[in-house]
Structure 1
Amino acid sequence: MSIETWLAFFVACWIISLSPGAGAIASMSSGLNYGFARGYWTALGLQLGLVIQIAVVAAGVGALLATSALAFSLIKWFGVLYLLYLALRQWRAPTMQVDETHAPRALGQPLTLVFRGLLINASNPKAVVFMLAVLPQFLDVSQPLLSQYLIMGLTMITVDLIVMAGYTGLAARVLRLLRSPRQQRLLNRTFAGLFAAAAGMLTLVRRTA
């Protein structure tokens, strides 16, 4: 992979990662509920899901999702149900009085947050099909493909970690501004609505021939 090709891919990664989606919503939700240090575990889980997606595309399995209506639908509807589950959890999230010295809400278990992030990315067939269409455009077929996939994977993960840190940190800062249960409840229900909206958008995704 030439430096020019990598730079083009690098810019594409920023555009893709900055685009609001279920991963960004999950990162902000975790930052809101647990603060930055604990909430960032969700972003790490998102990257594990991204690794799975890249591996699926590199192994050629992504072509199955692009051509098999059944495989695509099963993964899509699992993703829809999981996002609705997260919406329900966020809607029911407890509130508490926050002051300048108060720590963030009850700690989430790191492995639970990692698993949540992994499921969000791994259950998004649109992302797999999207990468199946995009990644090959940056490949030099005359060069070893494995090393190129590794470079692209590391680039995507690095960029996404930075972007999700921004989303998580932004939400964690918002937590400091919340002073009443009513404000927190409103924000929780806003995020619940965003999760539900992401689920609704996923139901509209169609497999392209």
Structure 2
Amino acid sequence: MSLYGLLIFAAVYFLAVASPGPGVAAIVARSLARGTRGAPAFIAGFLVGDLIWFAFAATGLAALAQTAYPVFVAFKYAGAAYLLYLAYRLWTAPPQPVDESAATDGDGRPLQLFFGSLALTLANPKTMIFFLALLPTLIQLESLTVAGFVEVALVICVVLPLVLGTYAFAAAKARRLFSSVRAIRNLNRGSGIAMASAAVAVATR
């Protein structure tokens, strides 16, 4: 794959990842309420989900993915249910500073976070549209070599963690501006509402 084509893909993919959607809402809401603890596992689920969608598109399995619609419906509702669970945890979380909250974070188990964000990514309409509809206009998938496949996968592995990691870091830093108990409680509840809104967006699309 040419360097120019790879840069074009990287730029478009960067914009797609950075644009608002359920995934961005989830990572920002959780980081506002919990800080960066658990963020690597949470972001890893999004990354693996994008790589799975890319593999479907690049290997000609997009049609198979579309015929397996009931499976993706199940993922959609699983992802929405997980977001609602996180929303409930954020709404009911005690108003603690970031460090204390991280120490008692009951929904911060890495595997739980990983599989939750993976289910969300596999069910995210924005991700499906990018890889099944937009990607073929950027890359000639029928002539993509193994080397080209690896190059694109590497771009995904760099861009997505960079973008979502920046969101998580910025949100965690913003949380530190809230020092009073009341402000932190309102922040937690606001984050819970944002998470619940993301769940509704996933479930209704």
TM category (shorter chain) comes to: 0.7 to 0.9
Q: Which residue of 2 aligns with 1:159?
A: 159
In 2, the alpha carbon distance for the partners of 1:197 and 1:174 equals: 21
Quick check: 1:103 aligned with 2:103?
no
Deviation, structure 1 residue 78: 2.8
Q: Distance in 2 between matches of 1:51 and 1:29?
A: 24
Q: Give the counterpart letter for 2:160 in structure 1.
A: D
CA shift, 1:122, in A, is 2.7
Alignment pair present for 1:66 and 2:66: yes
Secondary structure of the structure 1 residue equivalent to 2:66: helix
Q: How many residues align?
A: 201
Does the 8 A contact of 2:42 with 2:114 survive in 1?
Answer: yes
2:15 & 2:67 partners in 1: Cα distance?
A: 27
CA contact (8 A) 2:45 2:115 kept: yes
Alignment-mate amino acid for residue 158 of structure 1 = V
1:113-152 alignment runs, 5 A limit: 113-124=113-124, 126-140=126-140, 143-152=143-152
SS at match of 2:131: helix
Say which is worse superposed, 58-67 or 42-51, in terms of deviation.
58-67
Q: 1:202 to 1:134 in 2, by over 3 A?
A: same
Q: Separation in 2 of the partners of 1:144 and 1:131?
A: 15
2-side partners of 1:11 and 1:165: how far apart? 17
The whole-number CA distance in structure 1 between the counterparts of 2:142 and 2:119 is: 35
Q: Which runs of 5+ in 2 are unaligned?
A: none
2:36 counterpart SS class = helix
Post-superposition shift, 1:65?
A: 4.0
Matches within 5 A, 1:1-209: 1-36=1-36, 38-67=38-67, 69-96=69-96, 98=97, 103-107=99-103, 108-124=108-124, 126-140=126-140, 143-205=143-205
What amino acid maps onto 1:147 in structure 2? Answer: A
Give the alignment's Cα RMSD to 1 decimal: 2.6
Q: Structure 2 length normalisation: TM-score? A: 0.82
**Deviation of the 1:66 alpha carbon:** 3.2
Give the residue type in structure 2 aligned to 1:54. Answer: F
Q: Determine the C-alpha separation between the residues in 2 that align with 1:61 and 1:141.
A: 11
How far apart, CA to CA, are the structure 2 residues paired with 1:118 and 1:27?
Answer: 13
Q: Deviation per CA, 1:148-200, whole angstroms, max 9, x where unpaired?
A: 33222221231111111111111111221121222112112212221222222
Return 114-123 or 68-77, whichever deviates more: 68-77
Q: For the residues of structure 2 that align with 1:197 and 1:8, how far apart are their CA atoms?
A: 32
1:142 to 1:199, Cα distance in 2 relative to 1, 3 A: closer
CA contact (8 A) 2:47 2:157 kept: yes
The percent identity for this pair of structures is 32
SS of equivalent to 2:102: coil
